[in-house]
Amino acid sequence: MLQLTSFAQLAARYRVIFFDAYGVLKNSSGVMSGVNEVLAWLTQSGKELYVVTNDASRSPVAMASAYTHSKYGELIPPSRIISSGLLAKDYLRARVKQGRVAYLGKPSSAFYIESAGLEAVPLAQCGPGEEPQALAWLDDEGFDWFSGLNQAVNLVRRVNIPVVVANSDVAYPINGSELGVAVGSLASMVESVVAKTFVRFGKPDTMMFSYAFACAHANNDSLSKSDVLMVGDTLKTDILGANTFGIDTALVLSGSLLPNHAEVAIAATGIIPTYVCESILT
């Protein structure tokens, strides 16, 4: 039998806590009931909180605005919202000095191109012979899939430019029972059509954990990895990535994994969390 741990008791043992967003803090209706109270309590107890999320659909400021408390105000500052979009932004800044970057995603996702000092152009607005400096996969919404995916295939066959996938997720939960195909799946399909390898950001790759840990370490240079807990709802991204990075993990059952499936899933995948909690409200 799977042994459940109380999140409150567990959190007390760590100095820094990394949270996945969807399935842990939020669902398709927004921040889950009771979550902001838990975040407020953790902050008041002196914990340093980060959100580590595969998401390039909106800016950190827009993401942070969800976590506010009537009494304490902002609970997680934008600088502690570490998204895969942020890594994509750094990549674009380092690899592309100037010019136009074509993207697939909603207008709000263009933030990650513009904040790298580059011009963001929806792929649909690139002319037939145009050669943008790079192509960025940011979000599954904001473009027509048929024309967008076919245009992406033919662009990357025609010109050899950096192609970045700012969110590697395969799918995301839409509500209790439905999934949406995520931009990571769309990019994988195109990679396999063109037989090229794109640059991908997001858990389970450890780079976001390194980024968040470096932030936390800069605030407190006595911090070690054993002081940090990752809280996530998905074995193949949150738990695998944090295991690889070398920090403790708490799997919560408030998201993609239902309580009665968790034990089977852990045994089947071999991805073993340090702890399992029903949710962060326990």
Interface positions with a copy of itself (CB under 8 A): 90-91, 94-95, 140, 144-146, 149-150, 153-154, 156-158, 160-163, 170-171, 177-181, 185-186, 188-190, 192-201, 205-207, 210, 214, 225-226, 236, 240, 243-247, 266-272
Q: In the 3-class helix/strand/coil scheme, how is 188-247 assigned residue by residue?
A: HHHHHHHCCCCEECCCCCCHHHHHHHHHHHHHCCCCCHHHEEEEECCHHHHHHHHHHHCC
CB of 56 to a copy of itself, least distance (A): 15
Choice between 48 and 227, CB closer to a copy of itself: 227
Choice between 35 and 228, CB closer to a copy of itself: 228
Choice between 107 and 246, CB closer to a copy of itself: 246
CB-CB contact of 199 with 192 (8 Å): no
Which residues 6+ apart lie within 8 Å of 67 measured at CB?
25, 31, 36, 39, 51, 74, 75, 76
CB of 207 to a copy of itself, least distance (A): 5
Choice between 17 and 35, CB closer to a copy of itself: 17
CB of 186 to a copy of itself, least distance (A): 7
Choice between 75 and 132, CB closer to a copy of itself: 132
Which residues 6+ apart lie within 8 Å of 132 measured at CB?
99, 100, 101, 102, 121, 126, 155, 161
CB of 106 to a copy of itself, least distance (A): 13
CB-CB contact of 26 with 252 (8 Å): no
CB of 194 to a copy of itself, least distance (A): 8
DSSP state of 281: T
